[in-house]
Structure 1
Amino acid sequence: MLTDSWGWRAAFGILVIDHDPVAEAEFWAMAPAGVAVNAARFASPRRPGTSEYGDQAREVAQSPDIARGLDCFGGMRLDAICVCFTTSSFLGGAEFDKAFAEQASVRAQGIPALTAAQATVAAMGAVGMTAPYVMVPPWFKDEIVAAGRQYLTAAGFPPVAMDRLDVGGTLRPWELWDAGAQWEVRPEQVYHQVRRMIPADADGVVIAGNGLRCVDTIGPLEADLGVPVVTSNQACLWHCLRTARVDPAGVSGYGRLFAA
């Protein structure tokens, strides 16, 4: 029998940066039957060809695109909203994230809202991870990597190591995104680099970045490394399901998190 993927169990709204093709695809791949995903997009605070984000946290919080998306989501029968932009969370910090999520919920007429980094931290706690190995996208420049380390450390999860995915070539991180690397990264690249680089004292893997295609690596990495794996989009969906009181255990094949 054909289905229209109507959200009769739960429906979520996700806010995704303009040229990110990954978040929706990964949400739909993992979503259990009866769960719908609705997406809205917002312009990046960084102009193409430049490396500067400015005051990323403020610009994202004040984005007219995000305000418009939240206004539209507020008129829909949604159970949760997630801002799928790990970069702004890392650069803004936990206090920004908390205030932003609260303001987003108010704007969306009280629908619970969260950010990708908040979901990731909650997921790490749920699987009992304390010493993560963190992999970030090749387009995260040094400033974002450092901010990510600070964000996770302040949350109580100091990374034992943190690496960018190496895709080769001579392009600088922000140039990789502008050149469309988010369309080119393959899960096997992520899998092999994590296997090669994970330190012996890591008790879990975090793959951060909503635009980094990687959910197909979760099961194989957990089976081969024997540790839990948390990814940004996986954590976002898990947190949305919990918020909607839909049993995450209905998701199979995408990691220990959904059974936590």
Structure 2
Amino acid sequence: MALHSAPRLGVVVPSGNAAAEPEIGGLVSPAFNVHTARFPVLPGKDLRGRLEKYNDVLPDVLGNFGGLRLDAAVVSCTGSHYLLTPDGDRALCAELSERVGAPVRSAALAILDTARAVGAERLVLISPYEPWLTELSHAYWESAGLAVDRVVKIRAGARFSPYDVTTDELVAQVREAELPEDATLLFTGTGMFTFDALAELGKDSGRILLTSNLASAWWARDALGLPAHGPDAHPLLRRLAERTGTRTGTPRADSAAGAGPEAAAAGRDAAVAVS
């Protein structure tokens, strides 16, 4: 598909998140063009205060895309949505989808979609968060029906800081945990770089390896009817599909989903013509 007519994926990220754009962009290219909006900088607020504010301002941040018609959008901040219940998250995203005129999904809900697609019912949570946020994450997954068998807390040096975890630190701490060969590992946090770690850890076993950004890309492709095992899909998406035997997408509730990138582009252009 020509660059000018490729579907547009909006990605909303925290101001200091350096991982979401390159990882999601790499995962969905060349099927999508990725466009980004950032949450505001909030000086004086602690982490929880920032996450709470993100949920408050999310409609306005999505509104900053203005006249740029999107075909789908991902809220690339799991932490703020862990403050919600899964049902509350779904309700918020449904409201945002109505306002934007395109499907909007949080990274947390995209993880649930992807876990369902690959048949995962239990997981090991790989978390670089501060302990209180890891506990919220744990509770979110359990509330959504995913059993959390174990939590592996990932440190950047001596502290918890998703943005600062190196590949060597991530790989070493996961391997030190000596996890079961058949475990599904969920690396939570859109701001933790994972590509190189997944490539290395993928050599160890046939475990299912999920990340926030990988799930976001899976959902975005699926929302437009593009299978994860397609010839243009990123190797990490194909690996996920192949290792799980997945050959179909997740069920889609919105009527526009599954129409394919050409139909999405045509619909977007029609919307522009009458706007």
Q: What is the aligned partner in structure 2 of residue 162 from structure 1?
A: 151
Q: Counterparts of 1:36 and 1:51 in 2: how far apart (Å)?
A: 31
**What fraction of aligned residue pairs are identical, expressed as a percent?**
23
Go from structure 1 to structure 2 and tell me whether the alpha carbon gap of 1:188 and 1:254 turns closer, same or farther (over 3 Å shift): farther
Cα offsets for 1:156-198 (capped at 9, x unmatched): 21111112212223x5x4xx4xxxx61x422232122212214
Indicate whether 1:225 and 2:217 are aligned: no
- The amino acid across from 1:111 in the alignment is A
Show structure 1 runs of 4+ deviating over 6 A: none
Partner of 1:246: helix, strand, or coil?
coil
The answer on whether the counterparts of 1:238 and 1:258 sit within 8 Å (CA) in structure 2 is no
Go from structure 1 to structure 2 and tell me whether the alpha carbon gap of 1:51 and 1:88 turns closer, same or farther (over 3 Å shift): closer
Cα offsets for 1:14-64 (capped at 9, x unmatched): 10011111100111222232411100001366845x35428x45x33321x
- The amino acid across from 2:54 in the alignment is V
Go from structure 1 to structure 2 and tell me whether the alpha carbon gap of 1:22 and 1:193 turns closer, same or farther (over 3 Å shift): same
Indicate whether 1:100 and 2:92 are aligned: yes
Cα offsets for 1:64-88 (capped at 9, x unmatched): xx33332243632321101011001
Q: Counterparts of 2:61 and 2:172 in 1: how far apart (Å)?
A: 37
TM-score by length of 2: 0.78
Indicate whether 1:244 and 2:224 are aligned: yes
- Shift in Å, 1:200: 2.3
Matches within 5 A, 1:194-213: 194-200=174-180, 203-213=183-193
Q: Counterparts of 1:70 and 1:244 in 2: how far apart (Å)?
A: 20
Q: What is the aligned partner in structure 2 of residue 53 from structure 1?
A: 49
Residue of structure 1 aligned with 2:32, choices 21, 31, 35:
35
Matches within 5 A, 1:117-132: 117-132=108-123
Matches within 5 A, 1:119-198: 119-137=110-128, 140-169=129-158, 171=159, 173=160, 176=161, 182=163, 184-198=164-178
Q: What is the aligned partner in structure 1 of residue 11 from structure 2?
A: 14
Go from structure 1 to structure 2 and tell me whether the alpha carbon gap of 1:251 and 1:34 turns closer, same or farther (over 3 Å shift): closer
Partner of 1:14: helix, strand, or coil?
strand
Matches within 5 A, 1:68-107: 68-73=60-65, 75-107=67-99
Q: Which runs of 5 or more residues in structure 2 are unaligned? A: 247-275
Q: What is the aligned partner in structure 1 of residue 56 from structure 2?
A: 62
- The amino acid across from 1:71 in the alignment is G
RMSD: 2.5
- The amino acid across from 1:60 in the alignment is Y
Q: Counterparts of 1:113 and 1:160 in 2: how far apart (Å)?
A: 30
Aligned length in residues: 240
Residue of structure 2 aligned with 1:254, choices 221, 224, 236:
236
- Shift in Å, 1:132: 1.1
The answer on whether the counterparts of 1:206 and 1:229 sit within 8 Å (CA) in structure 2 is yes
The answer on whether the counterparts of 1:70 and 1:107 sit within 8 Å (CA) in structure 2 is no
Between stretches 214-223 and 238-247, larger displacement belongs to: 214-223
Q: Which runs of 5 or more residues in structure 1 are unaligned? A: none
Go from structure 1 to structure 2 and tell me whether the alpha carbon gap of 1:28 and 1:154 turns closer, same or farther (over 3 Å shift): same
Q: What is the aligned partner in structure 1 of residue 271 from structure 2?
A: none
